[in-house]
Structure 1
Amino acid sequence: MASLARAALRPRCPSCTWATIRLGLGLHVQNWRPLQQEQLRTKSKAAREAERNIVVKLRLDVPRFGRKGSYVPIAPAMMRNKWFPFRWADYVPPLEMKRLKAEGVTMARDPEFGVQRALAEVDDEEENLLMPRAPYVRPVEIDMLTPERSMELLTTFIPPTIDFTRQPIEQEKADMGRLRQGASDAADILTAAAMSKRTQSDTTGIYGSVSTADVAVTIRKALAHNDEAARVLLSENDVRFVEGQAEGDATRVKQLGSFKIEIMAPGADRPITRTVRVRAKE
Structure 2
Amino acid sequence: MASLFAARPALLPQCPSCVRRVTKFGLTGVVQQQTRHKSKAARELERLITVKLLHDFPKYGRAGSYVPMNKSQVRNRWFPMRVVDYVPLDEVKKLKAQGVEIVRDFNFGVAQPLVELEEEDEGFLQQKKHYVRPIELEMLSAERSLELIDTFVPPTIDFARQPIPQEKQEKSQARRHGASEAADILASITIKEKPKANPNAIYGSVSTTDIANTIKGALAHNDEAARVVLTENDITFISGYEEEDTSRVKQLGSFKVKIQLNGAETSLERTVRIRAKE
- The TM-score normalised by the length of structure 1 is 0.41
Larger Rg: 1
Query: Which structure features the higher share of helix residues?
Result: 1
- The TM-score normalised by the length of structure 2 is 0.41
